[in-house]
Structure 1
Amino acid sequence: MKKLAILGAMTAAGLTAGAASAATLDDVKARGTLNCGVTTGLVGFAAPNANGEWEGFDVGVCRAVAAAVLGDPTAVEFVPTTGKTRFTALASGEIDLLARNTTWTFSRDVDLKFEFVGINYYDGQGFMVPKELGVSSAKELDGATVCIQTGTTTELNLADFFRANNISYEPVPIETNAEAQPLYLEGACDVYTTDASGLAATRAAFENPGDHVVLPEIISKEPLGPLVRHGDNDWADINRWVLNALIAAEELGVTSANVEELASAPGDNPEINRLLGTEGTLGEMLGLDADWAKRAIMAGGNYGELFEKNIGENTPIGLARGLNAQWTEGGLLYSPPFR
């Protein structure tokens, strides 16, 4: 009987904790703003513009969620986080969503008790060096000083790569991309290593981007995506399906330019109709209204529109779609069905 009483108390405590942690949607609605964690500044992904307004590829995810939940893509409080502070900010409840070039790993998912809601950029770690060094491969970097952000997967990847190739390096620890740029440009480190997309964004911000080269080696898998806390499945579902809505919209040909027309005059494609809420009850299942996905798409466009506007080949970042192309175009991008 004593054991049963203890188990009963533990169950009650667990249910209470679950109820307390499962209130993120209510908190966001009551507050009227989404607290979204982003990087401290990475051009193309998340950075304030000249008017102090946050913009970028990851920022687009935050705005899409705010549009879906609050009906207003501008109802976002952006919270800059570093590699060290991002997880504490999410775990403590300071932010509701972390949309900051963060790699999905086993330990972050399981041990740190976070839930990645999808992948919005398939990446890998690379190396950037001044062209004048004459280096053409990362295997030629024996004895180099390397600027590397602490609290990131790149630290372990770097150590593994140099050990596997029997070469040495001297780490120069930095906390933010903004801190790394002047150190690298001033020659305090020979090499800057981070995700290849981050290297492209960093180089694009240099006065003379052509003086720097990204080496050919990609030494890791870095599936980047937004994440939330464990314990609130309803909130995780909302964020997961907002991201999926942006991905599916591109595949289905739904854009910021035609979404209003498609929603007001439903056609004969049932998946588009379900996505846009003119058929079925998907919004109700999420605890949202029927137009949640329409608003998310209108906020900044579908996945392809967000990519091309912020980091695509016609921007200073100049990234090709590559692995981030739709599965129908030879990439890895794929949304589960809206059914």
Structure 2
Amino acid sequence: MKLISTAAVLIGALTFGTAASAAEAGPTLASVKSKDKVVCGANGGRPGFSGIDSKGQWQGIDVEVCRAVAAATLGDAKKAELVKVSSQTRFTALQTSEVDLLVANVTWTYSRDTNLGLDFVAPIFYDGQAFMVSKQLGVKSVSELSGATICIEPGSTSEKIVADIFRAKGMQYKPVVIEDRKELNNAFFSGRCDVHVQSTSGLSSGRATAASNPDDYVILPEVFGKDPMAPVVRQGDAQWRDIVNWTVYAMIAAEELGITSQNVDEMKKSDNADIARLLGAKDELGKQLALNNDWAYQVIKQVGNYGEVFERTVGKGSPLKLDRGLNRQWVDGGLLYAPPFN
């Protein structure tokens, strides 16, 4: 029995050693390297998350995640290509390999995770659904909205939330279904709808960028449901899922460890084992994902940590001026938490 146990231990050690050695590129990573770019599906009509600025450049927190994956896999954040997708086309674009991943404000739900042949990775933004109205309506609560005309994006979490809430309250509503986010905002702010429904961040984004006078509109205080927004990848390629997952975690861990795009070169000399391991100065974590050992360093150097990205895209340094709220680090009472890099 002792001989069998020893053999089993030796076999296990050899197996682990093989798994921890340099991995070969899986199908998605191989495709990314072959075309020398990471193609991401994004909304394109949600400023702060993914939108196109006056110079024709993509901007937003979702866009930065795509750039971070490009920095991790190709060493160059500029090798991220964004493709506009709608709530109706986004999953098909990923399923048919038109894009390598989705960064399109997709809410992680049970049905989406189990029915579409897709995998969600670490959430990059935690939110909930809310209702926005003109102050002129004098409405203080969703319970006062029976009979209202509501602007809704088809196939969205908002569509389901509205149906569930109004059914539960025994209220009626008139949906105005518009697929394009820009047209949806225009319809609401032009008075075609009484109510606009999205995540609180989406409503804040629309109010800040599409309303002629943002102060004329109020987001009602009730927040419904959980809205964890996460990048999405195809099932069947565990390596690519891990790459995207740990790229997000690298940005989160960097903020917790005090590593920024400005001090990352100095921090690479740190005696702190966690910092050295993350930045590739200790151990060889990159090999396990078929990446260069400095993959996380490139993410932080070229894109920044999570806090830096949040502030310039949706936080106080942006037109949205959103509070961190649930998107604070766990040590500050938020939900952001990166597993250990060891």
1:321 lines up with 2:324 in the alignment: yes
Residue in 2 aligned with 1:184?
188
Measured in 1, the distance between the counterparts of 2:131 and 2:72 equals 38
Residue in 2 aligned with 1:234?
239
In structure 1, which of residues 11, 29, 32 is the aligned counterpart of residue 36 of structure 2?
A: 32
Residue in 2 aligned with 1:14?
none
**Superposition TM-score, scaled by structure 2 size:** 0.91
Residue in 2 aligned with 1:212?
217
Measured in 2, the distance between the counterparts of 1:166 and 1:202 equals 29
Residue in 1 aligned with 2:18?
none
Residue in 1 aligned with 2:48?
44
1:247 lines up with 2:248 in the alignment: no
Gaps of 5+ in 1: 1-20
Residue in 2 aligned with 1:54?
58
In structure 2, which of residues 281, 289, 292 is the aligned counterpart of residue 289 of structure 1?
A: 292
Residue in 1 aligned with 2:306?
303
Residue in 1 aligned with 2:230?
225
Q: Deviations over 1:202-223 (max 9, x none)?
A: 0001221101111101111111
Measured in 2, the distance between the counterparts of 1:299 and 1:280 equals 22
Residue in 2 aligned with 1:330?
333
In structure 2, which of residues 68, 72, 79 is the aligned counterpart of residue 75 of structure 1?
A: 79
Residue in 2 aligned with 1:5?
none
Measured in 1, the distance between the counterparts of 2:259 and 2:169 equals 47
Measured in 1, the distance between the counterparts of 2:26 and 2:279 equals 26
Q: Is the 8 A contact 1:22 1:231 kept in 2?
A: no
How far off is 1:22 after superposition? 4.5
Measured in 2, the distance between the counterparts of 1:176 and 1:222 equals 20
Q: Is the 8 A contact 2:154 2:179 kept in 1?
A: yes
Gaps of 5+ in 2: 1-24
Task: State the SS of the aligned residue for 1:36.
Answer: strand
How far off is 1:108 after superposition? 1.0
Task: State the SS of the aligned residue for 1:220.
Answer: strand
Q: Is the 8 A contact 1:312 1:318 kept in 2?
A: yes
Measured in 2, the distance between the counterparts of 1:61 and 1:216 equals 30
In structure 2, which of residues 275, 281, 296 is the aligned counterpart of residue 278 of structure 1?
A: 281
How far off is 1:299 after superposition? 2.1
Task: State the SS of the aligned residue for 2:42.
Answer: strand
Alignment root-mean-square deviation, CA: 1.1
Q: Is the 8 A contact 1:41 1:178 kept in 2?
A: yes
Task: State the SS of the aligned residue for 1:74.
Answer: helix
Measured in 2, the distance between the counterparts of 1:335 and 1:94 equals 30
Task: State the SS of the aligned residue for 1:129.
Answer: strand
How far off is 1:163 after superposition? 1.3
Letter in 2 for 1:33: K
1:203 lines up with 2:237 in the alignment: no
Residue in 1 aligned with 2:170?
166
Measured in 1, the distance between the counterparts of 2:205 and 2:180 equals 14
1:138 lines up with 2:142 in the alignment: yes
Q: Is the 8 A contact 2:122 2:230 kept in 1?
A: yes
Q: Which runs of 4+ in 1 moved over 3 A?
A: none
Q: Is the 8 A contact 1:40 1:176 kept in 2?
A: no
Q: Is the 8 A contact 1:184 1:190 kept in 2?
A: yes
Letter in 1 for 2:288: M
Q: % of aligned pairs identical?
A: 50
Q: Is the 8 A contact 1:63 1:73 kept in 2?
A: yes
Q: Deviations over 1:246-274 (max 9, x none)?
A: 000000000000111222x2x22111111
Measured in 2, the distance between the counterparts of 1:22 and 1:275 equals 22
